[in-house]
Amino acid sequence: MNTVRVLAPSGMLGAGWDHATVERGIALGADVISIDGGSTDSGPHYLGAATAKTTAKAVARDLRSLLTAAAAAGIPVIVGSCGTSGTDRGVDWVAGIAAEVMAEEGLDLEVARIYSEQDAAELKEHLDAGRIHPLPPLGELTAETLESCTHIVGAMGHEPIVEALRAGAQVVLAGRATDTAVAAAYPLMRGMPAGPTWHAAKIIECGGQCTGNPRAGGVLATIDAGGFTVEPLDPTVSCTPISVAAHMLYETANPFEMREPAGTLDVRDARYTALDDRTVRVEGSEFHFAGQYTIKLEGARITGYETMSFTAIRDPRVLAEIDAWAELMRTMITQRVGQTLGLADDEYAFDLRLYGHNAVLDDLEPESGPPREVGVMLLVNAPDQPTATAVAKVANPLMLHLPTPGMDYLPSFAFASSPAEVERGAAYEFVLNHVVDCDPAGLFRIEPGETRA
């Protein structure tokens, strides 16, 4: 093949798109459809709990759009990071939805599942052998940290996906994968050069985000020996050299380099040229293969149980002294919890955030002056849910009426809900940011050749 065309309908399965844009991509000659099923962007809960942030109905709708179009065109579909975090449960969840869609549509497609979840005991063997290394800012890994995780996944490169395709899979449902590996797998299998392929995969990983209208659906990348072109699937939308180049700023610490399991994409010498008013040509991308293949590990563990309460302040006198008010609130909560519940400071924790007053940037906020209104979020964390809720309930009267230190009247604030306390269940934290030296497919399990999922 002299060229490979990759259709990326959206940045995430379950986010939705106009099916007409997929049909247009097929008409333009797409050779493969690739889409990401999730990431760690939404925090540790989805990995820790092995649940998806998308709904089954939305995933089914999107799979129906892709599977029917791909089956008619005779091209494969690749989904990465199934179920948001790529746990084994997430892969099986998407596979079950795909099976229902194929049964309803009368499709007979071979489906391969690639599992990326890792066993802590097996990883300890890699740790003992010196094959696991930390990434900043984390330090050396311990066996106790591995054992504390509820779920651990490895972020696969393109190799396990290629193995599944070569085994005959028409639909590949992968566990945790790098966002780019999902789009790079098929072109690399067809012999496209690594530099343009990985760069194109990075640019289209989020569908229409590299266009002038990220709300209007996906894009089509055409990769060849010298580079790649990218164009929107919606004919009313445009790509420009700036909109394409700017996507290297997205989710990267360095806009000129991006590390993959096999090596590093280098776009320092990339040239972006407008072929017309909608299509951009990119040349000059390079890929430097690493001396050691590595897989990044992601793991999450429970940190406690959370209860949240939210109120809003419009009283201008309180807002004029909002920092002093917040400090008094923290002191009063600590005192009242000790008095009423008998809890020591180290038996629970809470976070008080003032939305509308430095809650996002904290000390980096450049604006000054009293805010017009402020939303106050209290987030309590405790070893169990009843304790977290009890602390939030103790804080309830303070969240409703606490005056500033100098006020001689009782102000009233506005709770967002009744009851004011919302139990959030288990809270999780990421505790792994490490890589393991291994073979490209050594940590992953492929179940190929299933029909009708």
Residue 139 placed within a domain:
no
Q: Give phi and psi for 86, each to the nearest 5.
A: 80, 20
pLDDT at residue 172, rounded to an integer:
98
Residue 235 placed within a domain:
yes
Tell me the residue range of the domain where 264 lies: 3-116+156-293+438-447
Non-local (6+) Cβ contacts of 37 within 8 A are 12, 13, 14, 79, 80, 81, 82, 83, 84, 86, 90, 94
pLDDT at residue 449, rounded to an integer:
61
CATH number of the CATH domain containing 384: 3.30.70
pLDDT at residue 450, rounded to an integer:
55
pLDDT at residue 452, rounded to an integer:
45
pLDDT at residue 142, rounded to an integer:
96
First CA to last CA distance, the chain: 30
Q: Is residue 360 located within the same domain as residue 386?
A: yes
Q: How buried is 334 (Cβ within 10 angstroms: 0-12 exposed, 13-18 middle, 19+ buried)?
A: middle
Select from 447, 448, 428, 444 the least CA-distant residue to 154: 444
As averages over each run of 10 residues, the pLDDT of the chain (453 residues) reads: 95 94 97 92 94 97 98 98 97 97 96 97 97 92 97 97 96 97 98 98 95 90 98 96 95 91 97 97 98 97 98 95 96 98 98 93 83 96 98 97 94 95 98 95 84 47
Residue 140 placed within a domain:
no
Q: Give phi and psi for 428, each to the nearest 5.
A: -125, 160
> Residue with structure tokens 């193995």?
163
pLDDT at residue 216, rounded to an integer:
81
Residue 131 placed within a domain:
no
Structural domains of the chain, count: 2
Q: Is residue 268 located within the same domain as residue 358?
A: no
Residue 320 placed within a domain:
yes
Non-local (6+) Cβ contacts of 336 within 8 A are 394, 395, 398
Q: Report yes or no: 414 and 315 within 8 Å, Cβ to Cβ.
A: no
Residue 396 placed within a domain:
yes
pLDDT at residue 136, rounded to an integer:
86
Q: Is residue 315 located within the same domain as residue 288?
A: no
Residue 85 placed within a domain:
yes
pLDDT at residue 397, rounded to an integer:
97
Q: Is residue 287 located within the same domain as residue 327?
A: no
Q: Is residue 111 located within the same domain as residue 215?
A: yes
pLDDT at residue 364, rounded to an integer:
86
pLDDT at residue 366, rounded to an integer:
85
For 379-416, give one letter per residue: b (16+ CB within 10 A) or e: bbbbeebebbbbbbbbbbebbbebbbeeeeeebebebe
Q: Is residue 278 located within the same domain as residue 323?
A: no
CA distance 159 to 163: 6
Q: Is residue 345 located within the same domain as residue 248?
A: no
Residue 147 placed within a domain:
no
Q: Is residue 426 located within the same domain as residue 359?
A: yes
Q: Is residue 269 located within the same domain as residue 194?
A: yes
Q: Is residue 265 located within the same domain as residue 315?
A: no
Q: Is residue 366 located within the same domain as residue 227?
A: no
Q: Is residue 245 located within the same domain as residue 373?
A: no
> Residue with structure tokens 């489906």?
111
